[in-house]
Structure 1
Amino acid sequence: MGKLKIEQRVIGPVATNVYLGINTETKEAFLVDPADRAEDIALWITQAGVTLKAILLTHGHFDHIGAVSELKKRFQVPVYAMAAEVVVMEDSTLNLSCNWASAFTVKCDQELKDEEVISVAGFEITAYHTPGHTKGGACYYVASERVLFAGDTLFYHSVGRTDLPTGSMGELRRSVQRLLSILPDETRVLPGHDCDTSIADEKRYNPYS
């Protein structure tokens, strides 16, 4: 049995999956896509009894970054994102927050490149650049645990939408096909919305495979 415990909450105006990855041996943790309600997420982290080490962003849309700035300040942790996504995160038009109650932007501390491996909370995590939903979309793969945090790139029998700023269906299809070709069939896929799936299942049933 692995040492990664994954807790999930559905948070925000469009039901975003927020993940807390916990190292059961060290009680260190990382947070994926803190969507909104920073106070609630902070309480979740505190009640879990863990030390937060990083925030990982799969992309810069408002519904995945709403609590980033406050949590970064409170826990004093770096924010990781794909380098190509910085322009989306720092533009309220591109991140779509200007279409909601108030426009906002967030800053990235660690700009990643494709297939860069980062060490976070005792895990080696590979960041894959998966453009299509946005130009700098990222998926995070924890090889030792066979887990992929897929954001809005790959969903259960579907993929993310591509009709928003910097989106591209051609790029998204290529990104999905790449993931399905390089990751083990038993990989658990944890998407940004809706239910989880597996690489094997998506190879068989995803219309974009």
Structure 2
Amino acid sequence: MGQSQVIKIVSQPLSVNTYILFLEDTGEAVVIDPSFYSERILKVLREEKLDCRAILLTHGHFDHIAGVSAVREHYHAPVYIHAADAPMLSDPEKNMSAMMGGLRVQTAPAEQQMKNVEKLHLAGMEIVVLSTPGHSPGSVCYLSGDYLFSGDTLFNLSAGRTDFPGGSMENLNASMELLKKIEKDYIVHPGHEGSTSLQFEKDNNPFMGNAEWSF
């Protein structure tokens, strides 16, 4: 297996991180959370001569699925999402885009619905799927190579909000405990803001139970 690399594309107005995870030697790629700047995503794939083999979603909120249709139609790539968030894809009320004025984000159902812990083999890469509910019922993290794509579960010194429909602080805490048990120090690529490392978050993130922090 060749070395995997990551390209990040930030979509405004909500500063959503879309990631292209690809193998250098083959050009095979997966796109994680295609957001509003779908034309830019397609341009990067084209310029880097990458072939998108799958679309992986960390959860079903509108800002993380806005570009699904464009990328899927161009590459005929299957969409993967946890079963608990699958209904959000076609329902603007459930994915919360209906709350944003005239915005109504919806796309066709996913080709693949995942559950709990799964191991995928896509684009020549092994990708482990961890169910990490809390921000949404079907939030997941993806682990591949040296990278952990945490969606809106884990951020640099923070964690996903739980006050949206289906959110749960209890579930988020359990997901944090799961991530704390991972021994490898992954590079963490979250759904918003900058990247970090798993060990740094274990040592410093208040949502991971660091004793030096108080509320």
TM-score of Structure 1 vs Structure 2, range by shorter chain: over 0.9
Contact (CA 8 Å) 1:12, 1:63: kept in 2 or not?
no
Aligned to 1:104: 105
| Aligned-pair CA distance for 1:61 | 0.6
Q: Which amino acid aligns with 2:38?
A: A
In 2, distance between residues paired with 1:41 and 1:24?
18
Alpha-carbon distance between aligned partners in 2 of 1:90 and 1:61, rounded to the nearest angstrom: 11
Which residue in 1 is equivalent to 2:140? Answer: 138
Partner of residue 197, structure 2? 198
Q: Which residue of 1 aligns with 2:12?
A: 12
Distance between the aligned counterparts of 1:183 and 1:130, measured in 2? Answer: 17
Unaligned runs of 5+ in 2: 209-215
The 2-side partners of 1:44 and 1:27 are apart by: 12
| Amino-acid identity (%) | 38
CA contact (8 A) 1:81 1:108 kept: yes
TM-score relative to the length of structure 1: 0.94
Tell me by how many angstroms 1:109 deviates. Answer: 0.8
Alignment-derived partner of residue 49 in structure 2: 49
1-structure distance, mates of 2:37, 2:196: 26
Relative to structure 2, which stretch is displaced further, 153-162 or 30-39? Answer: 30-39
Instruction: Give, in angstroms, the shift of residue 183 of structure 1.
Output: 4.1
**1:63 CA displacement:** 0.7
How far did 1:195 drift?
Answer: 0.8
Match of 1:117 in 2: 119
Structure 1's consecutive aligned runs of 4 or more residues displaced over 4 angstroms after TM superposition are: none
- What is the DSSP-based 3-state SS (H/G/I as helix, E as strand, rest coil) of the residue aligned with 1:25? coil
Q: 1:183 to 1:166 in 2, by over 3 A?
A: farther
Gapped runs of 5+ residues in structure 1?
none
SS at match of 1:19: strand
CA contact (8 A) 1:183 1:199 kept: no
Tell me the secondary structure at the aligned position of residue 84 of structure 1.
Answer: coil
The residue type equivalent to 2:205 in the other structure is N
Secondary structure of the 1:170 match is helix
Deviation at 1:146, TM superposition (A): 2.2
What TM-score do the two structures reach when normalised by structure 2? Answer: 0.92
Letter paired with 1:66: A
How many matched pairs?
206
1:33 aligns with 2:33: yes
For 1:189 and 1:159, the matched residues in 2 are separated by: 12
Aligned to 2:156: 156
Q: 1:153 Cα deviation (Å)?
A: 0.2
The residue matched to 2:60 in structure 1 has which SS?
coil
Matched to 1:196, the amino acid is S
